[in-house]
Structure formats: C-alpha cells, structure tokens
Structure 1
Amino acid sequence: MKENILGTDKIYKLFIKFAIPAIIAMVISGTQTIVDGIFLGNFVGQNALASVNIVQPFMQIIIGLSMIVSIGSLSFIGRSLGEGKKEEAQNIFKTAFIVITFLSLGVLLVGRLLSDEIAVLLGANEVLLKGVSTYINTISIFAPLMALMFLFGFTNRVVGNPESYLKGTIVSIIVNISLDFLLIKQLSFGIRGAAIATGLAYTSALLIVIRPMLDKKNVVNIFRGKFDKSVIIPVVYNGSSEAVISIASATTAYVFNMTFMKIAGEAGVAAFTAINYVAQFGILIMFGISDGIGPILSYNYGNKKYDRLNEALKLSTKVNLAIGIVLFFILFVFGEQLVSLFANGNQAILDLAVNGSKIYAFAFLLCGFNIINSGYFTAIGDARASIIISASRGIVFIIIGIKILPMVIGTSGVWLTVPFAECMTLVIGNCMLKRSSKLNARAIEI
C-alpha cells in the first residue's frame, strides 16, 4: 500500500517524493498574498500595499486555525497508520474534518460582522482603515474553503499522495495571477479585487485536493471513520505549535507595523511589507522541507524505526542550511532589485527597505534549524517542545528585541530583531533536541 513506502523506501527517495512537492506547494500557497502585493503596489499604490500587510494577522488566524487541526491530525494519522491502526486514523480524520468546518464558519461570521473593529485592532489608521476592512470583509467569505483545502491537501501527503496538494497549489497560483491582473489592473477593483482573487485561488486548489478524499478506495477519506470527541484535545494540542507559528507571524507583523508607523508612517510600513514578502518567500521554502518530512518522521516514529528518523532529520537539516546560505546571499546582494518589485520606484520605500534587507538577511542563516526542530517535535507528538521553539522565535524574542535593540542602535535595531530572535531560539532548540529521549537516547549533533 502507498503508505508503506514511508517505512521501506530509502530516505533520500522519500525526501524527493514528499519534500520537493511540499516545498513547491508551500511556496506557491504562500505567494498568494505576495502576488496581491506586487499588483497592489504597482497599480494601486503604497497605501494599498500597506493595507494588505496590516491584514496579515487576520489571514494568519484563518491559516493558523487550519494548521492547528490539519498538522495536529496529520501527525496522529501518520503514526496510527505506522502502527497499523487504520480505523483510528480514519476516526481522527473525520473528527478533524468536522472540527475545522465549524471553526472556519466562526471566522467567516466574525470577519463579516466585525471587519471595521478588527481593522482598528490591527493598527489601521484613518488612511488605511477602509482598505483593511474591505479585505477582511471579503476574504472572510472564503475561510471555510481555505481551511478545508489545507486539511485535505495535508492528509493526501500522509496517505502517500503528495502530488495532489502540489497540483492544487499550482492551479491556485495561476488563478490568482490571472484574477489579480483582471480585477486589479483591468477592472480597478483595488483591494477588494485582491481579496476575491486570493479567495477564488484557494477555492480552485480545494477542487483539486478534495478528489482523493472522495475516493472510497483510499485508506482515509471523508466517508470513512466516526466523530470521536476524545481526540479533539490531543489533536489541537499537538497542532498548537502551528497556532503559535501563526500567532508569531501575526505578532511580528503587528509589532513591526506599529513600530514603523511611528518611525516612518505609511512608507515605513510599506518598506517592511516589501522586505517581509521577500523574506516570506524564502522561509516558505524551509517550511516546505519541514512539512514534507513530517509524514516520514511520524510514520517511522510510530513504526519505531529510529535510525530512519535520525536520517530524515539530519538530511532535512543539511538541506535547510544550504537553502539558508543561498537565500542570505540573494537578499544581501540583490535586495534592491527584489524590493523594487513592490515599491514602484518610491525612493522612500526603497531606501528604508534596501538598508534593512542587508541586516534581515542574517536571519536566513539560522531560521532553517529552528523550523526543522519545531517540525520534528510536532511530527513525533512532542507538542510542548515544538511550542517552545515556535514561541521563542516568533513571539518572546521578537518582543524583547523590538523593545531593546532600537533603543541601542536605532532603526537598524528594528531590522536586527528577527536575526536576534532566531539566534536565541537556536540555542534553546538545540538543547532540547540533544536531550530528546524520542531519538532512542541518541544525541543529535547539528
């Protein structure tokens, strides 16, 4: 059966089969808002670009809730299949399907009814309020479809069908670019057009990834299994590190937006948006590696094949380090060219963002380790360790850094906050990894 290859094929072959499609899918999925940013920045203006960035914490809520349930259930499903417990895996999936549907419907209602209040809460000023509220009000309609796309896409991976999620995300980016061109450039729908394009792009991906879930021949599908309320808390707890990642992303965006709004106004927020988009693209590659090896780790952990667990962990760490070095070089050397994609010749944005990119680039040398460490602990069910890593790099040390570093070295301290957070988290993560009894009492040297 397809799932058995996770315990028998060579690790490097599994890495190619699972991680490469996951990388491509993660990057494509994550570039939905980047595409919006390019079109809005060039055809509407810097305020529209800044508005979309202020919306990001709300987008992270939608994605975060989806990830909590999807990643949390993915780990349990993988380990259950590894242990030969098919019925248990089917029950977990059915429960996840029901829970994620109700959660996303709640987001839809809140977003539609309270879009203005949410926009103000996220830091939108009088200039940006209308645009931010419009995006929230529109994208909320698609929340359930987005959530189910993630659940079905991720579940396809653990049952040995990673290509489905990849196909879905390829279709989605084509739809997004086409609709952005039509709605923003041709029809001048502005921010509402960007939200519609993103929502319909996720919907098109859902139409692809739902197909295997409708096939009764698959070991896991929407027809098999029963709702089991006893697995809700374990699934949510195990996936809570993904919630922390989304909260961390929202926290970073919020803290930086508020800081730059005080320092440089809308231009400062737009400059951070440009750098954040470029950085997000690189980090998505690393998250793709982490997500791709998740089924390999969880299945072999459930099957007690710790040597294969070690091999997959070491390989993914080395690959992420190599990717980090390449991304550091690209952002450090070609930062101006990349930022110009979003700035539309605005010199104020370019000056702020280009200087910041050379400092921000150092984060790439470190974040790959932290992303892999967090993903590893989630895959083996050690949610506590994964939460600590995610919270450290995205919340705790971000807040500490943004409070202290700008007072010491000025604006450069704002840009240095992310590398500082990654460095401190690496120390904590490596200590936990070396002490992990989950690796059969072996110390892991990175």
Structure 2
Amino acid sequence: MQEVSVSAHQHLREQKIMPLFVSYLIPAVLGMVLMSVNIIIDGIMVSRGVGANALAGVNVSLPAFSIIFSISLWISIGGATLYSMALGENDIPRAQSVFTHSIITAIVVVLFITMICLWNLERVALLFGANEVILPYSVDYLRILFTFGIVYVLESVLSTFIRNDGNPNLAMAGLITTAVLNIILNYFFIFVYGWGVQGSAAATILSAAIGFLVLLTHFMRKDSILKLTSIRWDWTMLRHIIVIGFPSFVTEFAVAIVTILFNITFISYLGETGVASYAIVNSIHSMMLLVFLGVGAALQPISSFHYGAELFDRLKQALRLAIKTAVWLGAVAIIVGYFGADYLILLFGVESEQLFTMTSVGIGLFFLQYLFLGYNMVYAEYYQSINQTGKSLAIILSRGLILLLPLIWILPNWFGATAIWLVAPTAEAITALVLFIFVRRNKQQRAVMRPS
C-alpha cells in the first residue's frame, strides 16, 4: 500500500512547482467562480419565475446555506490538511483514518443540526428575518434544504479530499456538473413544472447529489488511497481536525457579521439607496472573494503535503508563487473596477442616477482592498495548511473583525459617508503591513540562527 501511495503522489514530490501549482489553481478558481455565478442565476430564476416575495423568502433562507457550507468547510479543510500531511509522511493508515473521521463527523453534526432546525422550522425562518408575507416561501425552501442538506455537505467534503488526493480536475468536474445541472433543473422545476421555491431548493439538492455521484468515480482509480476504513475512534485526531479547520469556519462567520454591520452603517448614513449600492458592490465582491479563496485552496494541498514530507524549499516556492498570483489578480481587479465600474453596474439594471453614481464611486474605493486581500488570504490559508492555526486565525480575525469594528465607526464619523467604502481596504492594508513585518522579522531571525 505504501508503494502505491508514493507512485500515486510522486508528481507532488518531483513536478516543478509552477506547473504543479497551476494544475491545482485553474480547477480551484474555476470551481469557486461557478459557485458564485450559480447563486446569482438562482436568484434571477426565482425572481422571474415566482416573484419578488419568493425571492425575498429565498434570500432570507440563505443563512441556512452559510451554516451548512461553514460546517462542511470547517471539517473538510481541517481533515484534508491532516490527510495531506499524512500523505507527505507516507502514513497511509493515518490518512485513511483522517478521511473516515471527517466523513463520520460531518454526517453526525449536520444531521443533528438539521433535525433541530426541522423541528423548529418556522422559528428558524423568523430568526433569519422572514415576516408573515414571505414566511411560507422561506419555510418551503428550508424544509427541502434541511431535509436533504447532508447531500450538499458530503459533496463539499468529498470534493476537498479528492483535490488533496491528487485529482483536482475531478473535483472541478463535480462542481461544474452541479452548477450546470442546477441551472437546468431550476428552469424546468420553476418554469415548466411550476414547483416554485420548492423547485429551486429541489434543483439545488438534486444537482449536488449528481455532482456527488461524479465525485464517487474517484474511487475507481487504482492509484487512489482515499477510502473509508474501520477505525477505533480517535478523539485527539478529531480535535486536530476541528482546531485546524476552525479558521475556515471563522472566515464564513465573519463575512456574515461584516455584511450586517455594513448594512446598518449604510442605512444610517445614506438610507436605502446606500444599502442598495452596497448590495450591488457586495455581490461583485462575493465573486472576487471566492477567486482569492480559490488561490488559497490551490495552495493548501501542496503546502500540507510538502510540510508533511519536509520538502521545505519546495514549500517556500509554492508560497511565493501563490502570493504573486494573488497580488497580480488583485491588481487586475482594481484596474477592472476603475475602468469598468459603469459596465458592472449596468448588469444589475440600475436606473436611478443617484444609485448609479454612488455605486460607481463605491466600486472605485472598495476595490482598493484587493491589492492586500489576496496577500492576507494566502498567508492565512498557508498557516492553516501547515497546522499553525493560531497565526491563521490572527490574520482572519484582524482583517475580518478586530480592525473592521472600530474602523466602521471611526472613518465615516471623521471623513464622511463616502469613507465607509474605505473601511475594508484600510483593514486589509493594516493587516498586510503587520503581516509583512512579522514575516520579514521571522526570516531575519532564522537567518541569524542558521549556522555559518
């Protein structure tokens, strides 16, 4: 078995870092972009096929997706990191045990949460913000989502492990299958069969189930070591999975908190037009954020494997390449935002001149964060992938909450409402500066300690 593992993952040890990183980067980024486009198309179909109240009901239900996605991300990233480290060490039984623990944990946790939510479905919908008008739509959507949500989680977890098992193209194929089928099934279930929001929820789950079946073909590979095994439950291993994956959970949680804070701030200073403007900018930002997460997702299996294999020179090369890629993508995003803001806004059908102008200014300022965001996200993913969770968590909390909380009060109070757009760029810039100084000092300390 050990000989199979070496041959199956020989490319991770010997292939040049540039083509190796690209082979993981393209599927990861493309998969993330498809996820974001999918969400937008879902909203368009529900709005056109069922109505505005139905769309509001679905939007109110979206935190349920966040709950499910954050749990799958928490377990899959924590487990996949330990899995790749074990592969680097050629410890095949441990790698398979990590995979088995992760799958069992995901199933137990999600089933527990969904059972509680199904038992209190109307209360959950009201907690998410539903009122009497949109409550029926939210309940219909949530009932299907919570009943079959385990399918979505298993697809997400398995996709991450397959990528770490050296098959990023199949992970991408699973996501493409899910995304394309979701669009097709949404059309048929809503416009042809008239199933309303229940049809949209059913399309989401059914497409995920078929995507999951595509991913199962990975187990037909002769060189794959990814499989469920009989185990003695290891609470220490479970604790490591939870601790390592925790920064990914915090990332999702912070996004929800920040969105609420920005909505409150914009409505306080600029009213409903400000909230609408932020909604447009945030929709575009959600897609860009997933692109940078894709860069980190491409680095994670490479860095975890090389860390476990103690191939530290190749590990540093991969990190430098990921940082350069993220910074270049950030620069391109800023240029697109500066010259193409008006075209991006037109995609949302904005007719109000005030809203159009406010959003155009907002994109120009808000997009400045992308010069620093990629740098921060790559380092957060890097530290997480080599089991230095404390450093990863410090970066995520700094850029996501600790700096944002005072800045969102200080900047508009001191410099006016327009400065709200600069809150995120300022937080990212400060985090990047502190991180740069920290990394530089660590390098200098290692150089001094290295024997001459």
TM over 0.5: yes
The answer to whether the 8 Å contact 2:97/2:229 transfers is no
| Segment of structure 1 superposing worse, 352-361 or 339-348 | 339-348
The answer to whether the 8 Å contact 1:183/1:194 transfers is yes
| Segment of structure 1 superposing worse, 250-259 or 364-373 | 250-259
The answer to whether the 8 Å contact 1:32/1:198 transfers is no
Q: Does 2:283 correspond to 1:277?
A: yes
- Of 422, 441, 445, the residue aligned with 2:446 is 441
- Of 28, 39, 62, the residue aligned with 2:45 is 39
Q: Does 2:337 correspond to 1:328?
A: no
The answer to whether the 8 Å contact 2:350/2:356 transfers is no
| Segment of structure 1 superposing worse, 63-72 or 106-115 | 106-115
DSSP-derived class of the 2:347 partner? helix
Q: Does 2:95 correspond to 1:89?
A: yes
- Of 238, 244, 250, the residue aligned with 1:238 is 244
Supply the distance in 1 between the matched residues of 2:274 and 2:140 (Cα, whole angstroms): 22
Partner residue in 2 for 1:300:
306
Partner residue in 2 for 1:358:
364
In structure 2, the CA distance between the partners of 1:348 and 1:118, relative to structure 1 (3 Å rule), is farther
Partner residue in 2 for 1:422:
428
Partner residue in 2 for 1:403:
409
Q: Tell me the amino acid that sits aligned with residue 397 of structure 2.
A: A
Supply the distance in 2 between the matched residues of 1:359 and 1:346 (Cα, whole angstroms): 20
In structure 2, the CA distance between the partners of 1:210 and 1:303, relative to structure 1 (3 Å rule), is same
Q: Tell me the amino acid that sits aligned with residue 27 of structure 1.
A: V
What do residues 263-303 of structure 1 show as CA deviations (whole Å, max 9, x unaligned)? 56666544433222211112211111111111111111111
Q: Tell me the amino acid that sits aligned with residue 146 of structure 1.
A: Y
Supply the distance in 2 between the matched residues of 1:46 and 1:357 (Cα, whole angstroms): 26
What do residues 397-428 of structure 1 show as CA deviations (whole Å, max 9, x unaligned)? 23222222232344323322221221122123
| Segment of structure 1 superposing worse, 277-286 or 396-405 | 396-405
Query: How many pairs were matched up?
Result: 442
DSSP-derived class of the 2:22 partner? helix
In structure 2, the CA distance between the partners of 1:189 and 1:343, relative to structure 1 (3 Å rule), is farther
Deviation of 1:40 after TM superposition, in Å, equals: 4.5
Q: Does 2:83 correspond to 1:77?
A: yes
What do residues 240-266 of structure 1 show as CA deviations (whole Å, max 9, x unaligned)? 010111111111222233444555666
| Segment of structure 1 superposing worse, 41-50 or 315-324 | 41-50
Partner residue in 2 for 1:163:
169
DSSP-derived class of the 1:441 partner? helix
Deviation of 1:138 after TM superposition, in Å, equals: 3.7
What do residues 199-239 of structure 1 show as CA deviations (whole Å, max 9, x unaligned)? 33322221211332476862121246554232111110011
What do residues 25-60 of structure 1 show as CA deviations (whole Å, max 9, x unaligned)? 122133332222343466666666666555444322
The answer to whether the 8 Å contact 1:238/1:383 transfers is yes
The answer to whether the 8 Å contact 1:46/1:266 transfers is no
The answer to whether the 8 Å contact 1:41/1:344 transfers is no
The answer to whether the 8 Å contact 1:363/1:419 transfers is yes
Partner residue in 1 for 2:21:
15
Partner residue in 1 for 2:380:
374
Supply the distance in 1 between the matched residues of 2:355 and 2:57 (Cα, whole angstroms): 15
Q: Does 2:202 correspond to 1:196?
A: yes
Deviation of 1:192 after TM superposition, in Å, equals: 4.3
Supply the distance in 2 between the matched residues of 1:179 and 1:352 (Cα, whole angstroms): 37
Q: Tell me the amino acid that sits aligned with residue 212 of structure 1.
A: H
Supply the distance in 2 between the matched residues of 1:182 and 1:264 (Cα, whole angstroms): 40
What do residues 130-184 of structure 1 show as CA deviations (whole Å, max 9, x unaligned)? 5555544442233211111111111111211111110011111111222333344
Supply the distance in 1 between the matched residues of 2:278 and 2:166 (Cα, whole angstroms): 39
- Of 316, 325, 335, the residue aligned with 1:319 is 325
In structure 2, the CA distance between the partners of 1:24 and 1:42, relative to structure 1 (3 Å rule), is same
Partner residue in 2 for 1:143:
149
- Of 109, 118, 140, the residue aligned with 2:115 is 109
In structure 2, the CA distance between the partners of 1:51 and 1:415, relative to structure 1 (3 Å rule), is farther
Q: TM-score, length-normalised on structure 1?
A: 0.89
- Of 199, 202, 212, the residue aligned with 1:206 is 212
Q: Tell me the amino acid that sits aligned with residue 30 of structure 1.
A: S
DSSP-derived class of the 1:342 partner? coil
Partner residue in 2 for 1:310:
316
Q: Tell me the amino acid that sits aligned with residue 446 of structure 2.
A: A
In structure 2, the CA distance between the partners of 1:17 and 1:145, relative to structure 1 (3 Å rule), is same
Partner residue in 2 for 1:394:
400
Supply the distance in 1 between the matched residues of 2:447 and 2:57 (Cα, whole angstroms): 48
Supply the distance in 2 between the matched residues of 1:182 and 1:8 (Cα, whole angstroms): 48
The answer to whether the 8 Å contact 1:58/1:136 transfers is yes
In structure 2, the CA distance between the partners of 1:303 and 1:339, relative to structure 1 (3 Å rule), is same
Supply the distance in 1 between the matched residues of 2:189 and 2:270 (Cα, whole angstroms): 30
The answer to whether the 8 Å contact 1:393/1:421 transfers is yes
Structure 2: 5+ residue stretches without partners = 1-6
Q: TM-score, length-normalised on structure 2?
A: 0.87
The answer to whether the 8 Å contact 1:214/1:221 transfers is no
> What percentage of aligned pairs have identical amino acids?
28
DSSP-derived class of the 2:227 partner? coil
Supply the distance in 2 between the matched residues of 1:188 and 1:124 (Cα, whole angstroms): 23
The answer to whether the 8 Å contact 1:41/1:342 transfers is no
Deviation of 1:369 after TM superposition, in Å, equals: 0.3
What do residues 91-119 of structure 1 show as CA deviations (whole Å, max 9, x unaligned)? 11100010011111123223333344344
Supply the distance in 2 between the matched residues of 1:46 and 1:267 (Cα, whole angstroms): 18
- Higher-Rg member (1/2): 2
In structure 2, the CA distance between the partners of 1:99 and 1:262, relative to structure 1 (3 Å rule), is same
CA RMSD of aligned residues (A): 2.9
What do residues 342-400 of structure 1 show as CA deviations (whole Å, max 9, x unaligned)? 34656675454333222211121111001101010011100111111111222222322
Supply the distance in 1 between the matched residues of 2:281 and 2:39 (Cα, whole angstroms): 13
Partner residue in 2 for 1:152:
158
DSSP-derived class of the 1:219 partner? coil
Supply the distance in 2 between the matched residues of 1:157 and 1:305 (Cα, whole angstroms): 20
